[in-house]
Structure 1
Amino acid sequence: MYHHYLRWYTGGMPTVLPRFQVTRTDEVERALQIARERWPDATRGELVTRLFTTGAAAVADEIEARRQRRLEAVDFASGILDVAYETDYLQNLREDWPE
């Protein structure tokens, strides 16, 4: 069993960076097929890297779009209740509070 050998995954590899294994499930195989259509000359390793980077970019775009929608909602709601209260409403309310 390979996991019993220390650093088994770096021997003879072109990098000393940590590596990990991905089981080639149906989902992973489908993703590789799609990537192969997009980048037909890329190696399998390059396909995996491109899938990671484009996937991360897509997720980052979604996060930013969600953040923008929240900011737009806050801007939209900002001041929406200004007409519901008189300008001195808080001052009048505080006058009724005991010290």
Structure 2
Amino acid sequence: MKKIPVDLFEVKDPYNYFGRPDVLLHLAWRDGFIHNSPAHIDDLPKHYSFLKKMMEAGISQVAVMGTMHEIGFYEGSIDSGTPCSPETSYGISKNALRQLVALTAAQKKIT
């Protein structure tokens, strides 16, 4: 592992900057425990822009961490088919990012 301190939102060509990786595991998120922070909505396009740049440049696999907040209130077992109905700006933003990445990954045939 190599730690590279950088503002992800400021890197113009992240794919080459980070050494042309095969896999991206996106765990970055600000104010995760402040569920209705305005930062969630403000940062959403920045996160997507970073991920989109990586996908357009040629990365082959992308994983974005999610949480129960994307699901919202739900009783019972949760699986990949559980409908999402987020109830906070955090959950709404994370769910929107998931949907945007899934759409772009499918178009570009990225895992």
Q: What TM bracket, shorter-length normalisation?
A: under 0.3
TM-score for the superposition, normalised by structure 2: 0.21
TM-score for the superposition, normalised by structure 1: 0.24
RCO higher in 1 or 2 (8 Å CA, sep ≥ 6)? 2
Higher helix share: 1
Higher strand share: 2
